[in-house]
A and B are shown apart, each in its own frame.
Chain A
Amino acid sequence: MNGAPVSNPRARSERAGSALRAFHEEGAIGKAYDARLLRRLWPWVRPHVSFIVVSLTTLLIIAVINLLRPLLLGDVVRQAGARDSTRLWRDGSGLALILVVTQALTYVQMYTMQVAGARAMADLRGGIFDFFQKLRLRYYDRTPVGRLVTRATNDVDALSELFASGALNAMGDVVALVGIVVVMIALDWRLSLVSFLALPVVGAIVNYVRKRSRAAYRDVRARTARLNAFLNEQVNGIAVVQAFVRERAMSAEFDAINLEYRDANKRAIYYEAVLDAAIEMVSTLCIASILWFAGLRRVADHRITFALLVTFTQYIRQFFEPVSLLSQRYTLLQSAMSGAERIFQLLDEKDVAPAALPPEACSPAGPPDEAIALEHVDFEYKPGVPVLRDVGLVARDGERIALVGATGAGKTTVASLLLRLYEPQGGIVRVLGRDVRSYDPRALRRLFSVVPQDVFLFSGTVLSNIAIADDTPDRARAEEALRRIGALDLFRRRGGEVDALDAPVEERGQNFSAGERQLLAFARAIYRAAPLLVLDEATASVDSDTEARLQRALEEAIRGRTALVIAHRLSTIRAADRIVVFHKGRVVETGTHDDLVEHGGVYAKLYRMQYAHEQAVLAERRAHAHELQSDSM
Chain B
Amino acid sequence: MTTQRSVAASVKEGESATTVTAEPAPAPTRAPSTELRYPTTLRGQFRRHAPQYVAGTLTLAAFQLAMNRIDWQSKAAIDEVFGADPSRAWRPAATILVLALGAFVARVASRWYVFNAGRDAEYELRFELLRKLHQLGAAFYRKMPAGEIMSRSTSDLQQVRMLLGFGVLNVVNVCFAFASALQIMLGVSGKLTVACLLNLPLVTVISRAVSRRMYFRMRENQAALGRMSDVLQANLAGVRVVRSFALEERERARFESANREYLRASLALARLRGSFAPTIGSVAAIGILVFFWYGSALLLRGAAHGGLTQGAFFAFWSAFARMTWPMIAIGFALSVVQRGRAGFVRLRDVFDALPEVVDGARRAPKHVGGSLCVENLSFAYGDRRVLDGVRLKVAPGESLAVVGRTGAGKTTLAMLLARLLPTPERTVRIDGIDVCELPLASLRSAIGYAQQDAFLFSTTVARNIGFALEDPDSPASQERIRVVAREAQMLDEALSLPDGFDTVVGERGVQLSGGQKQRIALARALAWEPKILILDDPLSAVDAKTEAAILDAIERQAARRTVILVTHRVAAAARCDRVIVLDEGRVVEQGTHDELVQSGGIYAAFAEEQRMARELEELDASDAGDRLAVQGAAAS
* Segment at the A interface, from B96-104, B207-215, B566-574: B96-104
Would you call A336 an interface residue if the criterion is a C-beta within 8 Å of the partner chain's C-beta atoms? no
Chain A proximity of B18: nearest CB distance (Å): 27
Question: A residues within 8 A CB of B336?
Answer: none
Contact partner, A421, options B243, B247, B486, Cβ 8 Å: B243
Question: A residues within 8 A CB of B97?
Answer: 285, 288-289
Find out whether the CB atom of B100 lies under 8 angstroms from the CB atom of A296.
no
Knowing A16-B473, A243-B418, A265-B119, say if A421 contacts B240 (CB, 8 Å): yes
State in angstroms the CA–CA spacing of A392 and B293 once bound together: 95
Find out whether the CB atom of B460 lies under 8 angstroms from the CB atom of A20.
yes
Would you call A178 an interface residue if the criterion is a C-beta within 8 Å of the partner chain's C-beta atoms? no
Find out whether the CB atom of B123 lies under 8 angstroms from the CB atom of A612.
no
Would you call B112 an interface residue if the criterion is a C-beta within 8 Å of the partner chain's C-beta atoms? yes
Would you call A356 an interface residue if the criterion is a C-beta within 8 Å of the partner chain's C-beta atoms? no
Find out whether the CB atom of A588 lies under 8 angstroms from the CB atom of B450.
no
State in angstroms the CA–CA spacing of A271 and B74 once bound together: 29
* Binary B-proximity of A458-483 (CB < 8 A = 1, otherwise 0): 11000000001101000000000000
User: B294: nearest residue on chain A (CB-CB)?
Assistant: A92
State in angstroms the CA–CA spacing of A357 and B478 once bound together: 55
Would you call A132 an interface residue if the criterion is a C-beta within 8 Å of the partner chain's C-beta atoms? yes
Would you call B310 an interface residue if the criterion is a C-beta within 8 Å of the partner chain's C-beta atoms? yes
Find out whether the CB atom of B267 lies under 8 angstroms from the CB atom of A118.
yes
Find out whether the CB atom of A81 lies under 8 angstroms from the CB atom of B74.
no
State in angstroms the CA–CA spacing of A620 and B583 once bound together: 9
Question: A residues within 8 A CB of B621?
Answer: 389, 583-586, 588
Question: B residues within 8 A CB of A605?
Answer: 612, 615-616, 619
Question: A residues within 8 A CB of B246?
Answer: 441-443, 445-446, 469
User: A460: nearest residue on chain B (CB-CB)?
Assistant: B254
* Segment at the A interface, from B127-135, B173-181, B326-334, B392-400: B127-135
| Interface set, chain A 228-278, CB cutoff 8 A to B | 228-229, 231-251, 254-255, 258-259, 261-262, 265-266, 269-270, 272-274, 276-278
Question: B residues within 8 A CB of A65?
Answer: none
Find out whether the CB atom of A129 lies under 8 angstroms from the CB atom of B232.
yes
Contact partner, A80, options B82, B88, B299, Cβ 8 Å: B299
Question: Total interface residues on A, using CB and 8 Å?
Answer: 165
Chain B proximity of A256: nearest CB distance (Å): 11
Question: B residues within 8 A CB of A280?
Answer: 103-104, 107
Would you call A186 an interface residue if the criterion is a C-beta within 8 Å of the partner chain's C-beta atoms? no
Find out whether the CB atom of B271 lies under 8 angstroms from the CB atom of A284.
no
Would you call A39 an interface residue if the criterion is a C-beta within 8 Å of the partner chain's C-beta atoms? no
* Segment at the A interface, from B184-192, B195-203, B255-263, B378-386: B255-263
* Binary A-proximity of B272-313 (CB < 8 A = 1, otherwise 0): 011101110110010011001100110110000000001001
Question: B residues within 8 A CB of A278?
Answer: 104
Chain A proximity of B205: nearest CB distance (Å): 18
User: B130: nearest residue on chain A (CB-CB)?
Assistant: A254
State in angstroms the CA–CA spacing of A100 and B504 once bound together: 59
Find out whether the CB atom of A273 lies under 8 angstroms from the CB atom of B108.
yes
State in angstroms the CA–CA spacing of A146 and B246 once bound together: 23
Would you call B613 an interface residue if the criterion is a C-beta within 8 Å of the partner chain's C-beta atoms? yes
Find out whether the CB atom of A23 lies under 8 angstroms from the CB atom of B274.
no
User: A151: nearest residue on chain B (CB-CB)?
Assistant: B232
Contact partner, A586, options B150, B420, B622, B632, Cβ 8 Å: B622
* Binary B-proximity of A79-92 (CB < 8 A = 1, otherwise 0): 11101010011001
Question: B residues within 8 A CB of A613?
Answer: 605, 609
Question: A residues within 8 A CB of B216?
Answer: none
Chain B proximity of A285: nearest CB distance (Å): 5
Question: B residues within 8 A CB of A493?
Answer: none
Would you call B5 an interface residue if the criterion is a C-beta within 8 Å of the partner chain's C-beta atoms? no
Question: B residues within 8 A CB of A20?
Answer: 459-460, 504
State in angstroms the CA–CA spacing of A408 and B610 once bound together: 16
Would you call B462 an interface residue if the criterion is a C-beta within 8 Å of the partner chain's C-beta atoms? yes
Knowing A100-B285, A130-B252, say if A245 contacts B450 (CB, 8 Å): no
State in angstroms the CA–CA spacing of A262 and B478 once bound together: 32
Knowing A99-B288, A284-B70, A583-B621, say if A251 contacts B134 (CB, 8 Å): yes
Knowing A126-B255, A157-B225, say if A137 contacts B243 (CB, 8 Å): yes
| Interface set, chain B 69-96, CB cutoff 8 A to A | 70, 74, 77-78, 80-82, 85-90, 92-94, 96
Would you call B475 an interface residue if the criterion is a C-beta within 8 Å of the partner chain's C-beta atoms? yes
* Binary B-proximity of A151-164 (CB < 8 A = 1, otherwise 0): 01100010010001
Would you call A298 an interface residue if the criterion is a C-beta within 8 Å of the partner chain's C-beta atoms? yes
Would you call A199 an interface residue if the criterion is a C-beta within 8 Å of the partner chain's C-beta atoms? no
Knowing A16-B462, A452-B241, say if A292 contacts B93 (CB, 8 Å): yes
User: B150: nearest residue on chain A (CB-CB)?
Assistant: A232
User: B444: nearest residue on chain A (CB-CB)?
Assistant: A245
Question: B residues within 8 A CB of A375?
Answer: none
* Segment at the B interface, from A104-112, A394-402, A569-577: A104-112
User: B95: nearest residue on chain A (CB-CB)?
Assistant: A288
User: B445: nearest residue on chain A (CB-CB)?
Assistant: A245
Most chain A CB within 10 A, of B241, B444, B450, is at B241
User: B97: nearest residue on chain A (CB-CB)?
Assistant: A288
Find out whether the CB atom of A419 lies under 8 angstroms from the CB atom of B243.
yes
Chain A proximity of B49: nearest CB distance (Å): 13
User: A294: nearest residue on chain B (CB-CB)?
Assistant: B81
Question: B residues within 8 A CB of A240?
Answer: 451, 455, 457, 467
* Segment at the B interface, from A5-13, A359-367, A425-433, A495-503: A5-13
Find out whether the CB atom of A133 lies under 8 angstroms from the CB atom of B612.
no
State in angstroms the CA–CA spacing of A285 and B93 once bound together: 9
Would you call B633 an interface residue if the criterion is a C-beta within 8 Å of the partner chain's C-beta atoms? no
Find out whether the CB atom of B237 lies under 8 angstroms from the CB atom of A239.
no
Find out whether the CB atom of B234 lies under 8 angstroms from the CB atom of A459.
yes
Would you call A46 an interface residue if the criterion is a C-beta within 8 Å of the partner chain's C-beta atoms? no
Question: A residues within 8 A CB of B4?
Answer: none
Would you call B352 an interface residue if the criterion is a C-beta within 8 Å of the partner chain's C-beta atoms? no
Would you call A511 an interface residue if the criterion is a C-beta within 8 Å of the partner chain's C-beta atoms? no
Contact partner, B475, options A6, A104, A229, A452, Cβ 8 Å: A6
State in angstroms the CA–CA spacing of A15 and B288 once bound together: 63
Contact partner, A250, options B134, B239, B584, Cβ 8 Å: B134
Knowing A122-B259, A126-B256, say if A238 contacts B239 (CB, 8 Å): no
* Segment at the B interface, from A302-310, A326-334, A542-550, A559-567: A302-310
Would you call B242 an interface residue if the criterion is a C-beta within 8 Å of the partner chain's C-beta atoms? yes
* Binary A-proximity of B109-144 (CB < 8 A = 1, otherwise 0): 001100110011011001100110111111001000
A-B contact pairs, 18 of them (CB 8 A): A6-B478, A12-B502, A16-B462, A95-B289, A118-B270, A140-B239, A149-B232, A152-B232, A164-B270, A231-B150, A231-B153, A277-B108, A292-B90, A294-B81, A296-B89, A441-B246, A584-B621, A615-B605
Of all A-B residue pairs in the complex, the 4 with the closest CB atoms, nearest first, are A295-B89, A616-B605, A80-B296, A292-B93
Q: Apart from A269-B115, A613-B605, list 18 A-B contacts with CB within 8 A.
A: A16-B462, A77-B296, A88-B296, A110-B277, A115-B270, A140-B236, A240-B457, A242-B444, A243-B451, A272-B111, A281-B100, A281-B103, A294-B86, A295-B80, A304-B81, A317-B321, A441-B246, A605-B619
